[in-house]
Amino acid sequence: MGLQILYEILNGQDDVFAERVYAPWVDMEAAMREADIPLFTLETHSRVAGLDVLGFSLQHELVYTNVLNMIDLAGIPIFARDRDASYPLVIAGGPGAVNPEPMAAFFDLFVIGEAEELIVEFVDIIKDWKINGGGDKQGLVRRLSAVSGVYVPSFYDIDYTADGLIKEIKPAEGAPAAVRRRIVKDFSKTNVPIKPVVPFVDAVHDRCSVEVMRGCTRGCRFCQAGMIYRPVRERTKEQIISGISQILDNTGYEEISLSSLSSTDYTLIEDTLRTLSDKYTDRGISISLPSLRVDSFSIQLVKEIARVKKTGLTFAPEAGTQRLRDVINKNVTEEDILTTARTAFEAGWQRIKLYFMIGLPTETKEDLQGIVDLAKKIVDVGWQTLDIPARNRLMVAVSVSAFAPKPDTPFQWVAQNTLEEFEGKLKFLGEHIRGRHLTFKWHNAKSAVVEGAIARGDRRVADVIYNAWRLGCRFDAWTREFKYDRWMQAFSDAGLDPGFYAARERAFSETLPWRHIDTGVAEDFLQDEYKRALSGEITEDCRFDSCSSCGVCTSLDADNITFGDFTVLTKKATGAKK
Amino acid sequence: MPKLLVQYGKNGPLRYLSHLELIRAIERSFRRANIRIQMSRGFNPRPKISHGPALPVGIGSLAEYMVVDVEDPVAENNLLEKVTSVLPKGLSIYRAKYIEGKQSSIMSAVQSAAYQVEVKFSSGVEDIASLVARFREEDRLPIRHKDKEKWVETNKAILDWQVGRKTGDVYDFYILLSIGDQNSLRPDVAITKLSEMFPRLGRVESLEICRIEQYVNRGNPLINIYNFYEGVKMGSERNK
């Protein structure tokens, strides 16, 4: 999404060209290296090394070796310290930038937060620098660092204690003690990107997508996105409808997606969906909501939009027992889940996918058993609800992933489960989630361990990522390409223990490696939320309950901006409380 | 219900589109042009467009055909102009006409297709025409494609194979192949087989193939798809 937004803003400028570059798959990489073809852009086949700026979106930790590989394929030195002004400025943004430290050695600078306003200031400085002859890269970086939201890692020195903890983060070159996340205060004042590139190949998210709002204040304690994109800022209904109409005219897409972290929480969702459905359903254009909350309201909405195409339904209870769902602040009750499932079966769905995490803080055997029980109860509901021919197609698919604690969440201090613990739990679930109407799928726990170690890593982890890349790691998010043993070797070659970063409970007093990146979420709030988690106390959504004092609105001088009323949302929240 | 027969082509880098990618690109172009296509009924509605035999990836074409069930009759010229203005570079629409609703599908009508082939072998020979003649003397040959080998009655599959002028190292062939039954052969596979049969040609170094026409029969006079379907007057009166 971010890529498309910036692509359109940059190409809307007279003297800027923004082009796309992607990581070639392993066979293409081999062919390119064999034929000595450097990485090039898709639009004009320009050499990447000849660009002024090469920007990466860091979506998650398991793409980091791909980033290194792309820089190398472009013929650009991988470490920032080895690049002079003859190379492009190599920069990054995206959620990975809230802990930029593991990748700090490779980038000249990072953009923290939302870049639609920042990028314009950014290219103006580069333009001016080029007109004046370019050359002095250090001078350019210094000027760019004055742009709010820009973090230059080389302006900070890190001291470590003998135990390997961070002793001090020392700003130099006049850099601020902390770089504050940049946001667009009123999202409805920004344009909907209306000219997305339409690919020929069958790509993911290849559809007309409009971001209906930004941010989520539900406050799930494991969720990084729920913290680092606050506050909630909605678009108006008119903006969404007109944006979609223009995108469809420009692209000819056959599917509309209303995207956000939790689209059924958009206050005007019902009205918006009805308008879209009336306008597009008989034209064979389908509408989808990528993220659904577990409540009957959501099902009614989906029923509304599924007149064209009935795709699968996925719900994320995340944890198997009420106790653990309270710990993670996932405000849904078992009653909600079962009622939702009943509504879905009544509406004609026969296949429901449930998403859970294992390794959440305080998890016990009962919580795992809870996953098994809940899945079986939903099968029972399906059996009771569906008519006889449909019963044969009844399927409850349980998908489980291993929890990796992320920076800037209430769980940033917790010890991740070890590989052995994860595998034991998966074994238990595999043995118990069995039956004619049940399937069990799990994500590789090994990759979650690597992800967990990098996610909360410090600058020294750069060597690990570099070693892993040198050892041939690529596309680590693809199970078939992921090479756990080489990652472990990469850690040991760097003299580092993955357990130090992943499976160690941190003290509140510890200086976390990302302390100098200020997302606006107060550390006090995160500590308080962690304590509340341990005592099973729920924190309500500040959109319709009292302020949870997360600190974002005061520190970023912003507010939740919504356009509809909260009656529906409030009803749901009350329902969740009992 | 107006049905529109469209002749279109696929060239340049877009000849590497797969059949499904091509279909999607065409459907999206019609939507961009705001030409409404009827949707099929049922669980998963699809635009009513019926296509002819899929073109193998990498082969260009001047003569692909489809029948489109449009919602409203638009004048043919108007339609060509509207769709052409939004087509990606590499796809072209050449002509279109309204046809009777009840007729056999393109898929079942096509019996043969003609290809223009430009090929370069790693070592050239002077008597290519006699090699082609010897190749065509065989009744049947084992043909290997995608790790599968099967016997094809090549004398039935290859209806014609003319050797054109040689430009530099590049041979120019016109090949007419049957389509639609067991004895069908892809043009690229036929060229590979030729090079395997006569090792002195060496390997195929470069190969450019373009489908130039599709026919409803296999003998003279050949009748192409466009002429086979009778046109009806429609759209031109209700010019939108």
Handedness of CA A71, A72, A76, A80 (dihedral sign): positive
Interval A347-393: pLDDT, tens: 888 889 999 999 999 999 999 999 999 999 999 999 999 999 889 99
Chain B residues whose beta carbon lies within 8 Å of the beta carbon of residue A250? 32
| Cβ-defined contact of A284 to B20 (cutoff 8 Å) | no
**How high is the pLDDT of residue B166?**
86
User: Phi and psi of A571, rounded to 5°?
Assistant: -55, -45
| Cβ-defined contact of B28 to A198 (cutoff 8 Å) | yes
Cβ count within 10 A of residue A22: 11
| Cβ-defined contact of A309 to B88 (cutoff 8 Å) | no
Q: Write out the residue range of the structural domain in which residue B179 sits.
A: 112-215
The CATH H-level (homologous superfamily) assignment of domain A187-460+496-577 is tm_1862 like domain (3.80.30.20)
**Tokens representing residue A283 in the block:** 């034209």
Q: How many domains does chain B have?
A: 2
Instruction: State whether residue A201 sits within 8 Å of chain B by CB.
Output: yes
How close is the nearest chain B Cα to the Cα of A49, in Å? 25
Residues B103 and B116 in one domain: no
Interval B17-27: pLDDT, tens: 999 999 999 99
**Could you tell me if residue B236 is inside a domain?**
no
Residues B21 and B90 in one domain: yes
Residues B86 and B40 in one domain: yes
Q: Which of residues 156-215 of B touch A (CB under 8 A)?
A: none
Q: Which residues contact A54 (CB under 8 A, 6 or more apart)?
A: A21, A48, A71, A74, A76, A88, A89, A90, A91
Cite the residue boundaries of each domain of chain A with CATH code 3.80.30.20.
187-460+496-577
Residues B122 and B143 in one domain: yes
| Cβ-defined contact of A200 to B21 (cutoff 8 Å) | yes
How many Cβ pairs within 8 Å bridge chains A and B?
Answer: 40
Of A24, A52, A56, which is closest to residue A40 (Cα–Cα)? A24
**How high is the pLDDT of residue B112?**
96
| Cβ-defined contact of B28 to A200 (cutoff 8 Å) | no
**Could you tell me if residue B235 is inside a domain?**
no
- Rounded to whole angstroms, the Cα distance separating B37 from B57 reads 26
Chain A residues whose beta carbon lies within 8 Å of the beta carbon of residue B20? 202
- Rounded to whole angstroms, the Cα distance separating B139 from B160 reads 14
Residues B87 and B148 in one domain: no
Interval A111-168: pLDDT, tens: 999 999 999 999 999 999 999 988 889 999 999 999 999 999 999 999 999 999 999 9
Interval A208-242: pLDDT, tens: 999 999 999 999 999 999 999 999 999 999 999 99
Residues B119 and B189 in one domain: yes
Asked if residue A576 has pLDDT above 70, the reply is no
Nearest residue, CB atoms, A284 vs list B25, B34, B47: B47
**Could you tell me if residue B233 is inside a domain?**
no
Interval A275-334: pLDDT, tens: 998 999 888 898 888 777 777 777 777 777 665 455 668 889 999 999 999 999 998 899
For chain A, report the end-to-end CA distance as a whole number of angstroms. Answer: 37
Residues B79 and B8 in one domain: yes
Chain B residues whose beta carbon lies within 8 Å of the beta carbon of residue A253? 28, 31
Q: Cα torsion at A96, A165, A153, A454 (round to 10°)?
A: -30
Interval A430-479: pLDDT, tens: 999 999 999 999 999 999 999 999 999 999 999 999 999 999 999 999 99
SS3 of residue B61 by DSSP = strand
**Could you tell me if residue B240 is inside a domain?**
no
How close is the nearest chain A Cα to the Cα of B29, in Å? 6
SS3 of residue A282 by DSSP = helix
Residues B122 and B206 in one domain: yes
- Rounded to whole angstroms, the Cα distance separating B108 from A544 reads 63
**Could you tell me if residue B239 is inside a domain?**
no
Under the banding of pLDDT at 50, 70 and 90, the label for residue A577 is very low
Residues B18 and B86 in one domain: yes
Interval B138-188: pLDDT, tens: 999 999 888 888 899 999 999 999 999 888 889 999 999 999 877 889 999
Per-residue pLDDT, averaged over A243-247, amounts to: 98
Amino acid at A540: E
SS3 of residue A25 by DSSP = coil
**How high is the pLDDT of residue B238?**
44
**Could you tell me if residue B208 is inside a domain?**
yes
| Cβ-defined contact of B32 to A249 (cutoff 8 Å) | yes
How close is the nearest chain A Cα to the Cα of B199, in Å? 27
**Could you tell me if residue B207 is inside a domain?**
yes
Mean residue pLDDT across chain A? 93
CATH code where residue B99 lies: 3.30.70.580
Nearest residue, CB atoms, A283 vs list B14, B36, B46: B36
**Could you tell me if residue B238 is inside a domain?**
no
Mutate to test the interface with A, among B31, B36, B70 (most CBs of A within 10 A): B31
